[in-house]
Structure 1
Amino acid sequence: MPELPEVEVSRLGISPHITDQVVTKVIVRNGRLRWLVPDEVQLLVGQTVKAVTRRAKYLFIETQAGSGILHLGMSGKLRVVDKDVELVKHDHIDIEFSNGKVLRYNDARRFGSFLWQQPNTTHKLLMKLGPEPLTDEFDANVLFDQSRGKNTVVKNFIMDNHIVVGVGNIYANESLFKAGIDPRKPAGKITKKKYAELTVHIKQTLEQAIKQGGTTLKDFTQSDGSPGYFAQELLVYARTGKECLTCQTIIESVKIGQRNSFYCPSCQG
């Protein structure tokens, strides 16, 4: 599943091609995504794109009439192509622009979405989201204050979008390793000092992934078709049975919240 860095890389990739362009057509070939694509997305036609923004893993195509909201789901991909580029399987949505370019949404599993947000409103899916991890709103106080009295394991805690958005499985594993925190430890048992370290590592890990183009996942490519490269530098994720790059202890894995979790028993003991 594309995580926050992959979504941000997509935003950076498509923005130069569609910002300040007029939407000339919206083609929905298959509207049965995670939620049925609403007819209101046609309100984009005739509008000039003011900006492409992101909240959590949602992308917003902002216009005066409102915003089209795109979510990539499990396998969604966005490409900017010329209008005459041949369709391929699972190309469900085209947004055509006055410069002859098309923003094309492909989604094999159809767990993504294309929704509509009226001006000066917040879509109901976004109302209870936590702070963005790369802003000053997210700091050690957020994690420490909201974790008090919680027995939830810390890995699930930092992956809760009500606490902080966008810390997906890969980046949670990596950040906890760098902070020396056992992913199975109850969130309420972690000190403020440790949360301060974890906050720094979450920010740095996400920023590094964005800079390097997103993590290479089989279902993700950038808008220009090239893969990300962050996976080459993963320290614990998917390294079960291999030596820790820091202390040479064998990396172990455990299921936490139905997800594979990876940790070093020595560094995160």
Structure 2
Amino acid sequence: MPELPEIETICKDIRKLLLNKIIIYSIVRCKKLRKKVSKEIINIKKNKIINIKRIAKYIIIKIELGYIIIHLGMSGSLFICSKNTKINKHDHVDLIINNNKILRYNDPRRFGLYLWSNNLYNEKIFLNLGIEPLSKKFNLYYLFYYTRKKKIKIKDFIMDNKFVVGIGNIYANEVLFNACILPYRLSMNISLYECNKLINSIKYIIKKAIKYNGTTIKNFIRINKKKGNFKKFLKIYGKKKKKCKKCNFLIKKIIQRGRSTFFCNNCQK
């Protein structure tokens, strides 16, 4: 599933090409994704794109009449293509733009969302989200305070979207390796000093992943069909039985809540 750096990359790419352009109409080939495509999107006509931004892992396209909310689910992708581009099997939604381009949504598993909102900040899907990891509110005191209240493994804690949004499995592995913290330690036992390292590590890894346009392991493709380049900077994720770049110990792998967890027993404490 695309995480915060991937969604930020998509928003940046779309913004460059579609900001201030007009959505002439839509073509919806599959009305039922995770939820039904909103009727306002199906019936959209001649609306100017005013802004494109991200909230957590949602793409928000603000137009004159309201907001289009897009979530890519497990396997969704957005592409910019021309009007004569061949339609593939899983191309479910097209937004036809007045610059002879199409914003096309492809999703083999159909777990994504295409929803409409008149008042973005009253939407239920946003009410239980935590804060953004790059915001000023996400600081040492916030992290230390909430880690005292939870007796769960620290990797699961930083991946909880009710606490902080957008830190997926790949980035949680990289963050904890960078902060020298073992992923299976309990959150309430992370010291104030370690919380400071963790905050700095989260912000550093997320910013760097955004800079290099996210991580392509399997599904993530940018709107121009290029891959995210952060994969070449991964130091721990997917490195089972390879030598740690810091100490040459072999990297280990365990499964936590159905997800692969990689760590170095020597570097991480």
TM-score over 0.5 for the alignment?
yes
Alpha-carbon deviations, 1:14-67, whole Å to 9, x = none? 112211111111111012211111212246422211111100110011013110
- Are 1:91 and 2:91 matched, yes or no? yes
CA distance in 2, matches of 1:7, 1:43: 26
- Give the distance between the partners of 1:245 and 1:166, measured in 2 at CA: 26
Indicate whether 1:254 and 2:254 are aligned. Answer: yes
Specify the alignment match of 2:199 in structure 1: 199
Cα gap change, 1:58/1:172 in structure 2, threshold over 3 Å: closer, same or farther?
Answer: same
1:196-226 CA-partner distances (Å, limit 9, x unpaired):
1111111111111111121012211111111
Of stretches 255-264 and 113-122 in structure 1, the one that deviates more from structure 2 is 113-122
Q: Which segment drifts farther, 235-244 or 32-41?
A: 32-41
Give distance in 2, aligned partners of 1:200 and 1:44: 43
Match of 2:113 in 1: 113
**How much has 1:140 moved relative to structure 2?**
1.5
Counterpart residue number, 2:228: 228
d(CA) in 1 for partners of 2:121 and 2:202? 30
TM-superposed deviation, 1:185: 0.5
**Does residue 190 of structure 1 match 2:190?**
yes
The answer (yes or no) to whether the contact 1:9–1:222 under 8 Å persists in 2 is yes
Query: 2:268 aligns to what?
Result: 268
Deviation of residue 121 (structure 1)? 3.9
1:146 and 2:146 are equivalent in the alignment: yes
| Percent of residue pairs bearing the same amino acid type | 39
Unaligned runs of 5+ in 2: none
Q: Flag as ranges the 4+ runs of structure 1 deviating above 4 A.
A: none
In the alignment of these two chains, the number of paired residues is 269
Moved more, 141-150 or 68-77: 141-150
**Unpaired runs of 5+ in structure 1?**
none
Please report how far the alpha carbon of residue 73 of structure 1 lies from its aligned counterpart in structure 2 after TM superposition: 0.9
SS at match of 1:46: strand
Task: Report the secondary structure of 2:49's partner residue.
Answer: coil
Alignment of 1:18-167 (within 5 A): 18-42=18-42, 44-119=44-119, 121-167=121-167
User: Is contact 2:38–2:116 with CA below 8 Å preserved after alignment?
Assistant: yes
Q: Please give the alpha-carbon distance, in whole angstroms, between the structure 1 residues aligned to 2:251 and 2:44.
A: 49
Shift of 1:120: 5.4
Looking at structure 1, the residues matched to 233 and 265 of structure 2 have their Cα atoms a distance apart, in angstroms, of 20
TM-score for both structures, normalised by structure 2: 0.97
Q: How many angstroms does 1:266 deviate by?
A: 0.7
**Partner SS for 1:49:** strand
Shift of 1:86: 1.2
User: Are the equivalent residues in 1 in contact too, given 2:67–2:118 (CA < 8 A)?
Assistant: yes
